[in-house]
């Protein structure tokens, strides 16, 4: 019996090791889910017992859950740029020094620069078929309406179906406009000033009081016309300019019909998996859920206990389940590395009267738009790879959305770029239990291009120190958000600078409720000095790059407008009613 038992144990160990080795040696399919504006407290596996998310929860039960997963920025466009490149947004120019912290138009000239290398590009080079379904929000064109310099297909994706921009209230009828009101006011002011200048110069030229060439007056007139058209378009045409769907380079819906968008996205994701079932493939499912206007199909309306927002979360979870089911149907579950996260924290200021239209960030202070407070940057992070990653494991180590970049490149057998700084770290050893500590010692928390806070993982003691140098001024005071405006600002009168900085130990105070001081924390001065030296070293690694979110780059330019007709008559519906319910 003893000999039989020893033989059986040896055989079992051999086959487990061999099977695991074989799984690791082959290139897995990679499925990445990224929600939009989802709070860490909105899903069941992170403690929510009132919104039903059974499919995301089963991912967590079958894999690894991270409890300290950090976005590199608290807003969509810069956070996604960091996710795609493994680099802080300030390195690619996707961090703003002005109040326009995200792209405003499909017809802006800013976006993820062509010289940035995404993980999709590196996996493409390793023989992967790469697809993006859903939201992009990294720009489209640079100099002409069809140069596609920022387009997903120019950044390593073989296939794109989705929204090149982001959802806005403007995309749905009878919703209050969401495009920046201050931008509209500035466009109108510039148009008035330039028009007045043109009239003055023309009158002076005709009366002989001013010596000026007509070409100069014509240039002023052209500039004034551009500002006027941008202002006018920002009121009546946002739905046509921004709310569009594309398949690869072709516009298929302009404007998009929200009542069938979720069905389109789901059909495309399932179809991509089926077409590429022989792999390897990378599928990035970038949800339009749960960003306002929270358009939800009739099947889910009124079904949750948290109003329209809860309905939208539950619809997204159902879509996750359908896509996971398609993996099972094709026999790919055990050969697919799956990841679920959100691009940043929930939007606290998103309200309609007493109805909350943004997410819940659990015990964490702050939310979307706040670069330092945990609620703006701590997000869900769930991984599953049956047979390779352990099931039901929780890891409370600092990790970043930027870590996905080196992680998937490692799994694909690729090599990281050697000509630039990569801020992400390979998570495979941590996820498999081969490492007990995160490789991150410091994480830098930016709001736009302004450094608001720094996290120090003191590995020998287990402390997670966090120093806040700048914090937003909440309105009303103590409310936890900036309810007098859409987002908390990064600079100016709406922020407070702290010297010495506010210091917290997140391992003891994850809610950042009680700042430490030299009187209450013996290590206060030493910790602040250590973090200060880390900031100096970090800043030495930064190099100047063109700012992609400058006013010039975010302003609407008619010659860059994606259009499925003859501009300005841009409308089409190439999808028709072909989408079947799934």
pLDDT digits (tens, 9 = 90+) for 455-472: 999 988 989 999 999 999
Rounded to whole angstroms, the Cα distance separating 515 from 501 reads 9
> Is residue 26 very low, low, confident or very high in pLDDT (cuts 50, 70, 90)?
confident
Say which residue, 177 or 581, is predicted with more confidence: 177
* DSSP code of residue 81: H
Beta carbons of 383 and 339 less than 8 angstroms apart: yes
Region of 450 on the Ramachandran plot (φ > 0 left; ψ -120 to 50 alpha; else beta):
beta
Angle at 579 between CA 129 and CA 316, to 5 degrees: 70
Rounded to whole angstroms, the Cα distance separating 407 from 71 reads 16
Angle between helices 214-236 and 181-207 (to 10 degrees): 150
pLDDT for the residue 229:
76
Strands 336-342 and 29-35, by their bridges, are: parallel
Rounded to whole angstroms, the Cα distance separating 195 from 184 reads 16
pLDDT for the residue 548:
98
Region of 282 on the Ramachandran plot (φ > 0 left; ψ -120 to 50 alpha; else beta):
beta
pLDDT for the residue 373:
98
pLDDT for the residue 66:
98
For the chain, give the percent of residues with pLDDT over 90.
81
pLDDT for the residue 1:
43
Beta carbons of 105 and 244 less than 8 angstroms apart: no
Answer whether residue 23 shows pLDDT above 90: no
CA atoms within 13 A on the CB side of 319: 31
pTM of the model: 0.90
Say which residue, 174 or 162, is predicted with more confidence: 162
Would you state the torsion angle of the CA atoms of residues 269, 274, 276, 277, taken in this order, to the nearest 10 degrees?
Answer: 130
pLDDT for the residue 24:
55
pLDDT digits (tens, 9 = 90+) for 62-107: 999 999 999 999 999 999 999 999 999 999 999 999 999 999 999 9
Handedness of CA 241, 246, 250, 254 (dihedral sign): negative
Mean pLDDT of all residues in 191-208: 90
Answer whether residue 36 shows pLDDT above 90: yes
CA atoms within 13 A on the CB side of 211: 0
pLDDT for the residue 188:
80
Integer angstrom CA distances of residue 390 from 11, 66, 331, 386: 21, 13, 20, 7
pLDDT digits (tens, 9 = 90+) for 475-487: 999 899 999 988 9
Mean pLDDT of all residues in 50-60: 97
Rounded to whole angstroms, the Cα distance separating 325 from 343 reads 24
- The domains of the chain, with CATH numbers, are 29-167+243-560 (3.40.720.10)
Q: Kindly list the catalytic residues.
A: 76, 137
């Amino acid at each position: 019996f003893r000999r039989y038992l020893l033989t059986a144990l040896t055989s079992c160990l051999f086959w487990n090791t061999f099977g695991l080795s074989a799984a690791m040696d082959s290139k897995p399919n990679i499925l990445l889910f990224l929600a939009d504006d989802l709070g860490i407290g909105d899903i069941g596996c992170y403690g929510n017992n009132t919104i039903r998310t059974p499919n995301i929860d089963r991912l967590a039960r079958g894999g690894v859950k991270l409890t300290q997963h950090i976005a590199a920025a608290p807003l969509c466009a810069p956070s996604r740029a960091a996710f795609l490149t493994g680099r802080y947004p300030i390195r690619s120019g996707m961090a703003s020094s002005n109040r326009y912290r995200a792209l405003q138009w499909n017809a802006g000239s800013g976006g993820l620069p062509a010289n940035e290398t995404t993980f999709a590009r590196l996996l493409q080079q390793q023989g992967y078929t790469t697809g993006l379904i859903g939201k992009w929000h990294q720009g489209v064109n640079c100099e002409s309406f069809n140069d596609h310099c920022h387009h997903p297909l120019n950044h390593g994706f073989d296939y794109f179906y989705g929204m090149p921009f982001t959802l806005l209230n403007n995309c749905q009828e009878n919703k209050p406009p969401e495009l920046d009101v201050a931008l509209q006011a500035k466009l109108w002011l510039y148009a008035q000033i330039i028009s007045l200048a043109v009239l003055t110069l023309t009158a002076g030229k005709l009366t002989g009081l001013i010596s000026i060439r007509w070409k100069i007056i014509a240039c002023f007139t052209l500039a004034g016309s551009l500002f006027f058209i941008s202002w006018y378009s920002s009121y009546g045409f946002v739905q046509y300019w921004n709310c569009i769907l594309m398949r690869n380079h072709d516009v298929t819906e302009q404007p998009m019909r929200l009542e069938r968008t979720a069905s389109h996205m789901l059909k495309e994701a399932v179809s991509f998996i089926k077409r590429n079932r022989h792999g390897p493939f990378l599928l990035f499912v970038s949800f339009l859920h749960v960003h306002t206007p929270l358009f939800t199909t009739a099947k889910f309306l009124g079904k949750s206990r948290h109003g329209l927002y809860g309905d939208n979360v539950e619809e997204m979870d159902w879509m996750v389940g359908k896509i996971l089911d398609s993996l099972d149907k094709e026999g790919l579950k055990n050969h697919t590395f799956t990841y679920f996260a959100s691009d940043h924290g929930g939007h606290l200021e998103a309200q309609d009267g007493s109805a909350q239209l943004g997410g819940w960030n659990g015990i964490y202070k702050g939310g979307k738009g706040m670069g330092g407070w945990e609620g703006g940057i701590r997000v869900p992070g769930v991984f599953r790879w049956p047979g390779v990653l352990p099931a039901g494991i929780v890891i409370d180590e600092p990790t970043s959305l930027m870590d996905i970049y080196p992680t998937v490149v490692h799994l694909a057998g690729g090599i990281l770029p050697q000509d630039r700084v990569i801020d992400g770290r390979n998570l495979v050893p941590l996820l498999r239990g081969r490492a007990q500590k995160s490789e991150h010692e410091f994480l830098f928390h930016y709001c736009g291009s302004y450094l608001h806070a720094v996290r120090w993982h003191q590995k020998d003691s287990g402390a997670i120190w966090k120093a806040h140098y700048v914090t937003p001024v909440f309105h009303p005071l103590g409310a936890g958000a900036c309810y007098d405006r859409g987002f908390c600002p990064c600079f100016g009168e709406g922020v407070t600078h702290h010297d010495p900085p506010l210091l917290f130990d997140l391992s003891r105070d994850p809610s950042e409720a009680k700042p430490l001081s030299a009187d209450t924390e013996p290590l206060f001065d030493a910790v602040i000095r250590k973090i200060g030296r880390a900031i100096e070293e970090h800043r030495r690694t930064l190099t100047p790059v063109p700012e992609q979110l400058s006013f010039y780059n975010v302003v609407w330019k008619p010659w860059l407008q994606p259009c499925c007709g003859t501009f300005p008559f841009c409308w089409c519906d190439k999808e028709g009613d072909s989408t079947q319910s799934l």
